[in-house]
Amino acid sequence: MQRAYSKVSKEMPGVKKISVSPSTSSLLAKVFTPRGANAVSNPWSGNMIYNPEMMGGMDQFDKEQVIAHEMTHTKQMQDMPWYQKIGEMLFNRGNVPEGIPATSNLNNPYYWRSHELEAYQTERDRARRLKTPNYVDPITGGRDYALHPKYTPPKVETGPSSAMLKKQQVKSASK
């Protein structure tokens, strides 16, 4: 995790330096790490606590993605006054948009919190910037389709069509 933090912190220079430690490091860390969570960020210090059980099976890229997600939360809170932090924690619960089926994994208010939307978008943007093959979206589980290496997209003419050019020539000739 330290190697992942070292790499991602260079990619996010505007985020203050934080400590990254396992949830097994103290009783308090165990209490504040929700079951099933990969990691959490302390809203007051920005420090990150990760769950070694959840992170154990992840490859290095996925660990970096978790770090990027949590560092986004650190960035969100680093200059926020204390009373706004309390308001965010108490009242920013997220609202599921209408039309999302009850059986959908998107039917969870957590995913619709403004801070979570930004953190998940940070993960997507990072994967796109790094041109990560077979990237799996952290919310939907969707992925890009890999095209055959010999595939060449059809050429699309974006200039004026020959019919359009003839029409313009006729107009200018009649003047």
Count how many residues are written for the chain: 175
Residue numbers of the domain that contains 36: 2-174
Full-model pTM: 0.77
pLDDT score at 30:
74
**CA-CA-CA-CA dihedral for 126, 130, 135, 139, to nearest 10:** 0
Please give the tally of structural domains in the chain: 1
Q: In what helix (H) or strand (E) does residue 22 lie, and over which residues does it extend?
A: strand 20-22
pLDDT digits (tens, 9 = 90+) for 19-56: 999 988 777 777 777 778 899 999 999 999 999 998 88
CA 130, CA 124: separation in Å to the nearest integer?
Answer: 10
Name the pLDDT band for 14 (thresholds 50, 70, 90): very high
What was the pLDDT predicted at 77?
Answer: 93
- Lowest-pLDDT choice from 29-33, 81-85, 122-126, 149-153: 149-153
Q: What is the pLDDT of residues 65-105, one digit of tens each?
A: 999 999 999 999 999 999 999 998 888 888 999 999 999 98
